[in-house]
Amino acid sequence: MGPSLVYQVDLVTLQGEGDFQCPGCGVVISPEDETEEVYVILDTKVKGEDLEELVIQCKRCKSKIRLVGFNLT
């Protein structure tokens, strides 16, 4: 198996409740899912008191996904 792919998802572009499909395999990733059955959090980047970026990994296809766009100010 080759190296995992890295994708970037801008939360500002999402509609609805924040659910999105993994860009690698299409499984639905929901911010409400705290079970870590679909994805696992790898890293968080904070600037001051604001969350700037979250890096997660899809458990199905092992793709890494950088979530950006938390800061709307």
Task: Locate the domains of the chain by residue range.
Answer: 6-68
Quote the CA–CA distance of 17 and 15 in Å, as a whole number. 7
DSSP category for residue 69: -
pLDDT of the chain, 73 residues: tens digit per residue: 455 689 999 988 888 888 999 999 999 999 888 888 999 999 999 999 999 999 999 999 999 999 999 876 5
Quote the CA–CA distance of 60 and 39 in Å, as a whole number. 8
The number of beta carbons lying within 10 Å of the beta carbon of residue 1 is 4
Q: What is the pTM of this model?
A: 0.86
Q: Which one, of 21, 28, 15, 17, lies nearest residue 7 by Cα?
A: 21
CB 2 within 8 A of CB 24: no
